[in-house]
Structure 1
């Protein structure tokens, strides 16, 4: 029998006047591999916080199995300030302990580029970027010994390789987990069950994201069939009423009541996010071309003498390691970053819309509807159809009450939607999208992809979202960190293969450079390995003796002479351990 680690029993939770979890009873077992999906602001993060006892329920109770340890990754990446990174991730463990642990090596390889790179970190948690904070918080969680881990958007700030590594790590993990994420490829890779949080309820589906979509489609089909039957009954009732004499007998009154009941019981329409396909100007033969271009940023060259041409209707995805220059490449195309050499050719008829990661284009001093009307109060959709800014906002999920919200009070997903709407109202024929899926829920992502299906212009998207890239883009190009840009006919899979090949080649080069030049050097290596083994055995014995001394110190608390003797021995052991650990590190690195 599979044990339950944590459960909600009749739990409700409200924020202000809005109930996000309403009388929910659901549990996580010791084998749980659960993905949590739903609209932005719909209660996904609250659900995880309730399971982790980070927030208290308004009603009901949260039950944890006895002795169960639970760890949580929040979107805020709450880290104490001023603490060394190594201390945050591995605590006070000696270096030989964590550097020799296969599980720790896997995490440090996946998130920091290897044990050596992590060991070289001498910074503390102050001043870390968002991506660095996420990696530190994630490593800290994954190296713990929790029975259950709760992950809220763990793929944020990770590149394609980082997401692929995290998926492998979680698949191999023995403990249970629940994950909130908008990354649909990731959900399919790691989850065998999906929870949808909607209207305060939690609906369970077997399988990952693809299975969830199929199940939801089947549920919608059945609902449509039931609705068709309901409407047919309504039509029959109303037709009978028109033929009858409602005021003369009790029977028509009964039938009127039956019809009213049918109509009153009609379920409300689903508040789907509907994105509008705007008109675009015709593109000429030339769109955007970089000819023999060099792109520099302070201290280094990102691209060197690159030629890259974008034609009319091209749909291009761009992937690459963090820092390779993907965002800068988009800024070059948007004429916001100059080429150091070469030239950028811009077609005469193009109108570019550039979506940055920062949402800096949004005016903070305006309300939502004012921010849209600032661009254009009315949009011509063709064939004599016009829609006002208010109507378009409603179609994008901003109700009348939400339209007067200050831009500064919007959630991340709402800010992203507002950005997209403002851009599309300019009627561009070239879209440059930098991580367009950030902060968007899966329903909004589907709407965005549907919109882009009908976009007649040229599209370039930088994204770590494999599902989005494969769904929207016709070709994939990569910045592999070698100052070039490469076309990848095999898409993201080919990118990961190439990156693995480059890392293997780099490791081989390092090994070759460090390879012994003679048999004497080989002998030295064998001696070093033997010495490492001796040191590790001695460190183990020292650890055992230290534990014994601490116990003896506690027992001899009133015997001052004995305390002094034990303390002297302990100081000697600590000093010896420090010397051995330093020698161990020299041998293992050398």
Structure 2
């Protein structure tokens, strides 16, 4: 296989912090590699060096000539004046520009321009390309191509950026946390897409099932060095344990030998002079090996929970709707101590509404929410904390409390507490805006836990946290004495933490399921197999009837058909945006009334558009 990427002796420091030293590795054509390391140890920095946005302190990076490369950054930025269409197709690729012009002509219903571009699309064989582009946009739920970028949320911008990278069909893909802000359906589609795609891949991700099923190479940065593992995530875990054990044995052996050599070195200078110089040099090399650290730095989540009484949280026939559309309908549940529940469902199905009802941000239209007297919520929100850009790390903690109590009864000051969460002394006075994305999320987690909650609500807690932190968080949640309610697209996290699911179907119904995510998917597959079996047994072959020659869509009908697909997607997108705003609890009464009236009209428009689409679809399928 041909070499795609060569990294030779690359070293980079961030101020006084050494991120990695003399890193050397390469990728061959077709490799699918993941970069794993703790937060703040240089994963994103290394990707920026590979892309050319950052110059290393020393070393070189070579990407083979003629290779088309695409890079999804952790926090993508677009020109806010651009539309979604302009952001996605901002490329000098000739076919992409042709597809962009055609999409714009469809949007503007410019029949003359459409006619002109149809011939060019035929000449450039761009129809298959356009179909692949549309598939990517559809799977990532991007339809409102004329929407300005400035109106998008951070999650929408990340999905636009991912689409913009994928549609260019690069030979070498560099992806920084590609699964962030994707729902479960999107993650599974992307997993399948990258598995089948021939492009060489290097990515940073916390999704361990994604790693297991997509990657054949793991690159780990640990203590400034890079280690390579030829296998998936499961293989990496086994081999990493072996590597650490061998290192510990090597260091222990060096320490034992060092005692003898130290005794020799401590003798009279005359005795040392009679020995060969190589033994003195070997002593100092041995001393370096024996002085290496082999213990794993880890967080200690030893924070006590507030006492939780027998009455936790009771929901009685709770319902919530906006303008006649049910988000939650007649749902009852009695939480008990030790509940670990995962919430799954597509965007816009009422998950945020449910969390807002539980925490009292929204009031139900019907039913009742009863809170126990001892209930203390800890709400880890997806959007994180809002801090002043110039606030120091230690100030974030000390502003909440100067003294924090542990579950053993000991007390910690802010500095000690930070060290327990892997923030060493030199980071205590670093500004928050200098932290990596994962470090900010870890700091945010501290602010939630230090209030000693007994009912934890975690909304997408896995975004930006490194795999090692996630493993420790999972262990903490499994020992947590209170209740845990988790919204997450991370299947591995759900499997390891939750014992039952609340499945939101989008029609107001919440269906409890006794088990984790993998068991739920097995259940769904069995149900689908049974339905297909019954259909097969009931359907008998019918004799073919003589039919008239099928009618084909006219040119205008074809254009109407395409425009309807786009219109339906736009209406559904607008509906999801409105539902999100209605669920936020932040609208004024006037805004609430306006949004409610608009969603009613949207439902009518959707019905009419879908009926017409079905009519044309039947003709198109003939």
Could you tell me the TM-score, scaled by structure 1's length? 0.77
Classify 1:364/1:285 alpha carbon distance in 2 versus 1 (closer, same or farther; 3 Å).
farther
Q: Do structure 1's residue 473 and structure 2's residue 498 form an aligned pair?
A: yes
The equivalent of 1:483 in structure 2 is 508
Q: Check if 1:342 corresponds to 2:367.
A: yes
1:92 aligns with 2:98: yes
Q: Does 1:106 align with 2:105?
A: no
Q: Given the superposition, is the C-alpha separation of residues 134 and 261 from structure 1 closer, same or farther in structure 2, using an over 3 Å criterion?
A: closer
CA RMSD in angstroms comes to: 3.9
Within 1, Cα distance between the matches of 2:159 and 2:407? 48
Instruction: Report the alpha carbon displacement of residue 159 of structure 1 after superposing the two structures with TM.
Output: 0.9
Q: Does 1:159 align with 2:190?
A: no
Deviation for aligned residue 1:523: 5.0
Structure 2 residue 27 is the aligned partner of structure 1 residue 28: yes
- Bigger Cα displacement from structure 2, 5-14 vs 36-45: 5-14
After alignment, is 162-171 or 476-485 more displaced?
A: 476-485
Whole-angstrom CA distance in 1 between matches of 2:260 and 2:25? 42
Give the counterpart of 2:217 among 184, 193, 196. Answer: 193
Report if the CA contact (8 A) 1:317-1:473 is conserved: yes
SS of the equivalent of 1:344 reads strand
2:460 matched residue in structure 1: 435
1:527 Cα deviation from its structure 2 partner: 2.2
- SS across alignment from 1:48: helix
CA distance in 2, matches of 1:393, 1:534: 62
Matched, 1:51 2:50: yes
1:217 aligns with 2:241: yes
Post-superposition CA distance 1:85-111 (Å, at most 9, x none): 335345432357666555335323321
Tell whether 2:250 aligns with 1:226: yes
- 1:385-404 maps to which residues of 2 (within 5 A)? 385-404=410-429
Change (3 A) 1:389 1:271: farther
Counterpart of 2:566 in structure 1 is none
Highest Rg: 1 or 2? 1
Q: Secondary structure at the match of 2:27?
A: strand
Q: Distance in 1 between matches of 2:286 and 2:331?
A: 66
Partner residue in 1 for 2:231: 207
Q: How many residues align?
A: 516
- Larger deviation: 295-304 or 425-434? 295-304
Over residues 526-563 of structure 1, what are the superposed CA-to-partner deviations in whole Å (9 max), with x where a residue is unaligned?
A: 2216989999xxxxxxxxxxxxxxxxxxxxxxxxxxxx
1:295 aligns with 2:320: yes
Deviations 1:142-178 (A, max 9, x none): 2223211111111111011111110011111122111
TM superposition shift of 1:309: 2.5
Q: Classify the secondary structure of the residue corresponding to 1:61.
A: strand
> How far did residue 125 of structure 1 move?
3.0
Counterpart Cα distance in 1 of 2:443 and 2:207: 21
Cα deviation code 1:365-417 (max 9, x no counterpart) = 74322332333333333555333221121111111121122344433222222
Cα distance, 1:299–1:190 mapped onto 2, change above 3 Å: farther
CA contact (8 A) 1:488 1:495 kept: no
User: Is 1:357 paired with 2:363?
Assistant: no
1:278 is the counterpart of 2:303: yes
Task: Flag the 1:21–1:229 CA change in 2: closer, same or farther, 3 A.
Answer: closer
Aligned 8 A contact 1:277 1:454 in 2: no
Query: What is the SS of the residue equivalent to 1:401?
Result: helix
C-alpha separation between the residues in 1 aligned to 2:406 and 2:149? 51
Tell me how far 1:419 sits from its aligned partner. Answer: 2.0
Contact conserved, 2:36 with 2:218, CA < 8 A, in 1?
A: yes
* Separation of aligned partners in 2, 1:48 and 1:415: 19
Contact 2:40 2:435 in 1 (8 A): no
Secondary structure of the residue aligned to 1:450 is: helix
SS of residue in 2 equivalent to 1:528: coil
1:367 and 2:366 correspond = no
User: 2:66 maps to which residue?
Assistant: 67
* Contact 2:557/2:616 (<8 A) preserved: no
Stretches of structure 1 lacking an aligned partner (at least 5 in a row): 506-518, 536-585
In the alignment, the residues of structure 2 paired with residue 496 and residue 111 of structure 1 have an alpha-carbon distance, to the nearest angstrom, of: 24
How many angstroms does 1:301 deviate by? 4.1
Report the CA distance shift for 1:275/1:436 in structure 2 as closer, same or farther (over 3 A): farther
CA contact (8 A) 2:343 2:501 kept: yes
Structure 2 residue ranges without an equivalent (≥5):
90-95, 104-117, 532-544, 560-614
Q: Give the whole-Å Cα distance in 1 for the aligned partners of 2:497 and 2:39.
A: 22
Distance 1:374 1:420, change over 3 A: same
Tell me, yes or no, if structure 1 residue 405 matches structure 2 residue 430.
yes
Taking structure 1 as reference, are residues 321 and 64 closer, same or farther at Cα in structure 2, changes over 3 Å only?
A: same
For residue 471 of structure 1, report the CA deviation from its aligned partner: 1.1
Kindly indicate whether the alpha-carbon contact (under 8 Å) linking 2:499 and 2:514 is maintained by their aligned counterparts in 1.
Answer: no
Contact preservation (8 Å) 1:528, 1:587:
no
> When the two structures are superposed, what TM-score results if normalisation uses the length of structure 2?
0.73
Q: Is the 8 A contact 2:302 2:407 kept in 1?
A: no
- Are the equivalent residues in 2 in contact too, given 1:362–1:419 (CA < 8 A)? no
